[in-house]
């Protein structure tokens, strides 16, 4: 009596590996994409807090040429704060400071708000691989309000 020959399972292992590695690769890139977007949103929150804090502390200060801190100086401060982050100031779409410098409500003890708008789709690297994702801009806004000191 002849013994039965065992069938080779090498082909099945290769197919299983291909299926598993495809799933794991997509999952890994999804995790990385999520981390990149989370980093960008945290950076924007940080920048809006920095801008609002600067505005709250320096809003009532007078300089030789300005009666109080202007929106331009707040934007310059945010631009300087961007230098150590993953977002450059040129990529930020809009910085809004309210109330305006000339507003009568811009007084000590009143709130000042800094909003930063950013196109987060600049950080998408998987948008070409995921069907149904928007090809247009996707804006996120981070807002911080502080009391003027």
Which pLDDT band holds residue 147 (cuts at 50, 70, 90)?
Answer: very high
Q: Cα–Cα distance between 144 and 97 in angstroms, integer?
A: 10
Tell me phi and psi for residue 144, to 5 degrees: -135, 135
Do 78 and 95 contact (CB within 8 A), yes or no?
Answer: yes
Of the ranges 62-71, 73-82, 121-130, which one carries the lowest mean pLDDT score?
A: 62-71
104 versus 90: the higher-pLDDT residue is: 90
Q: Which helix (H) or strand (E) holds 10?
A: helix 10-58
CA angle, 93 then 94 then 95, to 5°:
140
- What pLDDT shows up at residue 13? 85
Which pLDDT does position 8 carry in this prediction?
Answer: 66
| pTM of the predicted protein model | 0.78
Percent of the chain whose pLDDT exceeds 70? 83
Q: Tell me the average pLDDT across 107-130.
A: 84
Find out whether 51 and 95 touch, Cβ atoms under 8 Å.
yes
CB atoms closer than 10 angstroms to residue 29 = 14
Residue 24: its pLDDT value, please? 96
Binning pLDDT at 50, 70 and 90, where does residue 28 land?
A: very high
pLDDT for 104 beyond 80? no
Contact 147/110 with Cβ under 8 angstroms?
A: yes
């Amino acid at each position: 009596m002849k013994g039965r020959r065992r069938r080779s399972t090498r082909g099945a292992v290769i197919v299983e590996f291909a299926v598993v590695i495809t799933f794991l690769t997509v999952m890994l890139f999804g995790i990385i994409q999520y981390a990149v977007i989370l980093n960008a949103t945290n950076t924007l929150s940080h920048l809006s807090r920095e801008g609002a804090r600067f505005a709250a502390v320096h809003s009532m200060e007078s300089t030789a040429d300005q009666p109080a801190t202007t929106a331009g100086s707040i934007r310059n401060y945010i631009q300087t704060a961007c230098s150590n982050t993953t977002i450059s100031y040129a990529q930020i779409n809009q910085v809004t400071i309210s109330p305006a410098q000339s507003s009568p409500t811009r007084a000590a003890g009143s709130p000042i708000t800094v909003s930063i708008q950013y196109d987060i789709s600049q950080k998408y690297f998987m948008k070409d691989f995921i069907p149904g994702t928007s090809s247009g801009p996707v804006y996120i806004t981070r807002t911080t309000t502080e009391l003027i000191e």
